[in-house]
Chain A
Amino acid sequence: MDTSERFFPVEDVFKMQYLEQYVQSVVHYSSRYNNQLNYCYSPTNLLGKYEKYPSYGDFPEAYFLRSYGKWWRYSGSAQKEYRPQDFDLLNAEDFVTLEFGSAVVPREVFIYEVYNPGAVIRIWGRLSSDTKWHLLWEGFPQKCAATSRKFTPPLRKINSLINILRIEFNQSHLDYHTAIDGVLLCGYQPRTIIKFELIRRGLTQNKLATSSNSATVGYWETNRNCVTLNDKLAFDYINLLPNEIILKVFQCLDLKSLSRCAQVNRRWNKLAQDQTLYRNISLKIYWYLVNEQTLDFFINKIQNVKKLDLSWCNQYQISFNKRLDYDYHCKILSLLEESSRTITHLSMNDNYFVDSDVLNKIVCCKELTELRLHHTFNWIRWPKDQLTKLVTLDLSITNIIDEDLIQILMANPNLEHLVLDLCEHLFMMNSVVETVTLFNKKLKTWSSWKTDSLTSDAVRKFSLCSNLEELDLGWCLLDSVPGDSLAEIANGCKRLKRLILSQWRGATDQSLMPIIISCKDLTQLDLIGIKNISSELCEKALFRLPKLRLLDISFCDGVRQEEVAIWRQQYPHITIQRSCEHTVTDYM
């Protein structure tokens, strides 16, 4: 890299103070293991100094991501790529955005990983008053040994101030949840306001003779190095091709390449803006570039759009520029309005700008079959108007209330996949389940992780959904007794493939046995924290379920570690999870 050779660190020019700081606040995150108010496993555990490092284990004092491995992607409710040609090579699945007390020119970042390390793939940095993200590091996910790790990636050398870090994860290669205990940002802090402003505005650039901005490639930026035309071969064969062929080729290109093609010549420019190329749009992997101009560009081309993914596109969320905020919000509204006639798939996960206005526009898109609003928290009430063709609905980590949810369920008889994880405003899950059994006979996936208003009577009603394939009821029955509800489910839902019963502390061998006898298609069974189950039950599950691939018996005190070791040898095709917190002595 020629830029790095010419790099001239700003701290050599100015006298600056070296500063080490831990996280001051958590701005945003896409994944959470626990409810908002709990500190166990929550993102707020990243605040301040690390607590558990260098211990290694499943500690409630660290930040846990909700998913791991490929198991969540196998799920029927998982999102299929809307525009497969726009893929992220590193495949970022989750992120967390952290704010630090003082802005520094970053030189080192330490990430304290205390359980299953190796999931960090990218680190971004930004100044809260600015909108530009700087890529500090990226790299492939790593296979690491099972020890805690202080991860110090080699950062790109930049001379920009940063007080916000965004860490992206790809945990698809991990055997179990990853956990992070703390993040330390080290760098140089300008001592005076003048120096601060000089660095912030990049006025040191001339002096330092460097182009530190090469980190982020502009969206519509010209990349002149690509076009090295040899004069002797200047005859343009491609220009002989008819438009249809060129369009066909263009259809296979990702947005970045399309934008480059648009700069070749007038004809290509016109073709690259053809509406047919933008049937499916996914801006998720370009989240750091999407601004109101980007949306503006799409507004004219979106009349025939089928699938639209605006997840993570939160460009201005942390900046304090209300005007930009407002403009961007308006663009989203008009984008939805333009696409409302044809759009069938819409995903706006972790999008800060989803509020009641945006929701009102969304419910006007009558053709929608898939709607994903994971972790959108700026709305409370669902609009009166209803969608009627939904097949997939993801409302995890939202403020949806029972009454509105029931209305949605009643209006959408074709619903197959419903995700309600961590919805803390659902207090009458029993009536929700009852509505599902009456109106949504086609339901295949039900996921209600950590919604604790569910009772065993309601669980019993799931037996009426005979098409059910996936049932995630983790942490739902913390301290009540399931009774015969599992036997009923075993009777009614013969097609069950995935069953998550984490922390059903009242379940016993007897209540679980019918599931193992009748549900022969079961591939994933999660029994975390059920103290009462014995090793005989696990053995039967391993032996009798021919399709079983994942059995999670972490924190099941009734099963001994030695037995698990034997089973792992006996059933090599089955992943047996056995996570343990370390004993009390580790507290010291």
Chain B
Amino acid sequence: MHSLFVTGRLISRALFNGIHNFSTATDPKLQQKTEPHLVSAVCGFSKERRIQRLVKGQFGDDAWFSAKYKSTDVLGVADGVGGWRSYGIDPGEFSFHLMKTCERLVKLGRFAPTNPSELLASSYYELLHNKKAILGSSTACVVFLNRENSTLYTANIGDSGFMVVRRGRVVRRSEEQQHYFNTPFQLSLPPPGYRADVLSDRPESASSDNFPVEDGDVILVATDGVFDNLPQNIILNELIKCQGERCASRLQMVANSIAWMARSLSFDETFISPFAERAFANGINTIGGKPDDITVILATVAI
């Protein structure tokens, strides 16, 4: 009799649990909460005004990628250093391959989801071991969104960077790493023999950061073509528009407008750009925008 009672209670509990679980599983709010992700859009322009061959993942000497693996969303930009052109080396090639390799490593899952600078480092060493010698140097910025703990992990070398906006305020912005004015930190694979003359920073010297994100946060990852030409308040005004935006096409419109503004201002010879301000602070008297390749990746956190 006793055993029958116990069994009956177990069965009824199991039934109740089943129903209970079922009802929570269908609750849309609860289900979404477990899956934060990034909604992203990309836009960019090459410095050259004439129309060039378009390759996905490349704007002039800039390169970008976005990829995801299991519980990590990854965005990255890189800006090839243009000085190599005079050595007969295509500066876009290094940045492009660096980003391509990062993308591949992410897709294969060969990275630590909390350590973006390690991804940059391993990507750099992969390039070194390619049969085809890919020479040049590049700045780079990689952002991970770890969905498990809703934390953003970032790594940045040089003057590309990211900016996170929450409810109309900039909550985090990358710091520029420069050796001296207009000479950012850079990853480089110089031709042998030039090593002594070339600035080359270890991939390990990337500045790393991590902080928790909230639903609706806007993340901008861009190359110096954006940050040198657009003052922060203009960028901010645009980014506020897409606070909490889930629709990729509206996000794309904002990305387009940021990239387009940056491009127009970069060719404006009378505009006092952030670049001109900094040049002035360094005792160089210049005015106007800084014509450069422009890449904008815009993303919102959807939780």
Contact = CB atoms under 8 A, between A and B. Distances in A.
Interface in A33-50: 34-35, 37-41, 44, 47-48
B3 to A, nearest CB: 30
Nearest to A528: B131
B192 A58 contact: no
User: What 6 pairs between A and B have smallest CB-CB spacing?
Assistant: A506-B192, A505-B192, A38-B129, A479-B192, A481-B193, A581-B132
A529 B133 CA distance: 7
B189 A39 contact: no
Contacts of A587: 55-57, 100
Interface string B156-177: 0000000000000000000000
Q: Report which residue of B122, B131, B192, B195 has the largest number of chain A beta carbons within 10 angstroms of its beta carbon.
A: B131
Given A555-B131, A581-B132, A39 B108 contact: yes
Contact of B133 (A48, A503, A579, A588): A503
Contacts of B108: 39, 44, 47-48
Interface of B: 53, 55-57, 93, 96, 100, 104-105, 108, 110, 122, 125-126, 128-133, 189-193, 195
Contacts of A503: 131, 133
Contacts of A44: 108, 110
Contacts of A588: 55-56
Contacts of A480: 192, 195
Contacts of A61: 104
A569 interface: no
A65 to B, nearest CB: 14
Contacts of A579: 131
B129 A34 contact: yes
Nearest to B54: A588
Given A529-B132, A531-B133, A584-B96, A506 B126 contact: no
A33 to B, nearest CB: 9
Given A48-B108, A587-B56, A588-B56, 5 more contacts: A37-B122, A479-B189, A506-B191, A532-B191, A588-B55
Q: For the side of the interface on A, what is the size category?
A: 20 to 34
A40 B55 contact: no
A383 interface: no
A108 B126 CA distance: 34
A505 B131 contact: no
A60 interface: yes
Interface in A493-532: 503, 505-506, 528-529, 531-532
A225 interface: no
Contact of A585 (B55, B93, B130): B55
23 contacts: A35-B129, A37-B125, A39-B104, A40-B126, A40-B129, A40-B130, A40-B131, A44-B108, A47-B108, A475-B129, A479-B128, A479-B189, A503-B133, A505-B192, A529-B131, A531-B133, A531-B191, A555-B131, A581-B132, A584-B93, A585-B55, A587-B57, A588-B55
Contacts of A529: 131-133
A136 interface: no
A478 interface: yes
A249 to B, nearest CB: 52
Contact of B55 (A479, A554, A584): A584
B104 A555 contact: no
Contacts of B195: 479-480
Contacts of A478: 128, 192
A39 B100 contact: no
A60 B105 CA distance: 13
Nearest to A556: B133
B214 to A, nearest CB: 34
B131 A581 contact: yes
Contact of A60 (B57, B96, B130, B192): B130
Interface in A552-588: 554-555, 579, 581, 584-585, 587-588
Contacts of A38: 125-126, 129
B104 A554 contact: no
Interface in A365-383: none
A174 B135 CA distance: 31
Contacts of A58: 131
A480 B191 CA distance: 9
